Chain A
Amino acid sequence: MPSWIEQSIARGILTTRYPHAPASDAEVPLTGRAPGPKDPGTTPRSAIDSCPVGAIAATTVDQGKCIRCARCLARGFAFAGSVESVARARAELKTGPGAVPTAARPVPLAEFGRSLHVFLVDVGSCNACNLEVLGIANPFYDSQRLGIFFTNSPRHADVLLVVGVPTPEMREPVLRAYDAIPAPKAVVAVGACPISGGAFARNPGLVGPLDGILPVDVYVAGCPPTPVAILDAIRAVAGRARPAEEA
């Protein structure tokens, strides 16, 4: 009779090499990479016009607005950029010749030790970001090996992960969750929604970007960001390097 132990052994180790090696193509779908013009100096007018969220400008692409809808692909764009669209400042999410240079990953945000306890708050998401965040605990990404743990109480948390576009109904709850986290603490905005409103940026009656109501320390772009990018964002809180920087 088969048993769980046999099943586990038969399945073997599935865990990714990331972040000790760059993410593989199996881990990152086409839309998991940041978009940019195929020919880096020229942005076709049609690409600027085609973008439903206005992320594309003449010399920059605002990754914080991009919802990875792929409309610009037929207009001289490609998803060939970084897997980790992670930044410590909102302005650094822009890519392209007109963008501000991204600071090298600086020191940790605070005196965090080797482990980070993460508390997830959904302020109005489509559920995809929630599931990608939970996904970093699956055997393929195994966040625990990197000292990243989910906690069910803000009192035990170091990092507040926020997914979704802030709705008026969730404004008060998320502020109270933030207040309940003991210092030092960090806020990570996961996905286009909390960064810029994403696909819902022009919807009536919403609160607006998360950094209007909370101090955001790390931004991770994507719609939704891949688990690899989310791992990198949480590691950025502790000032840990990316694979390319390690090598």
Chain B
Amino acid sequence: MKKVLVVDDSLSVARQLEKIIADSGDFTSVGHAKNGAEAIKMNHTENPDIICMDMNMPGMDGLTALRSLVVLDKDVKVVMVTSLGGVGDKFTEALKLGAKNVISKPFEADNVLQILREL
């Protein structure tokens, strides 16, 4: 089973994503980081296969964390999960920085799993 790390300052979004991951049968959650800095630490300690990360977080935001993650770990697969997905510049910036895809909020379980399975 592939390991997924969820990064979001929102407890409710983390719960939604962890439930989708747990119910999928293909993936398992290795925890929840509340900001970009925690994500970098947990990527090192938990070694997830995929990171699902929000963009808009207090402290270190998602795009800043993504910049560091791709330098620190060349194999990292990051999918941004954000309400800002529809803002063209943000979407493009995330892809150019190395995100594998961008999921817009509100999301549906099928859409999330389809994108994770394609990685």
Do A and B interact? no
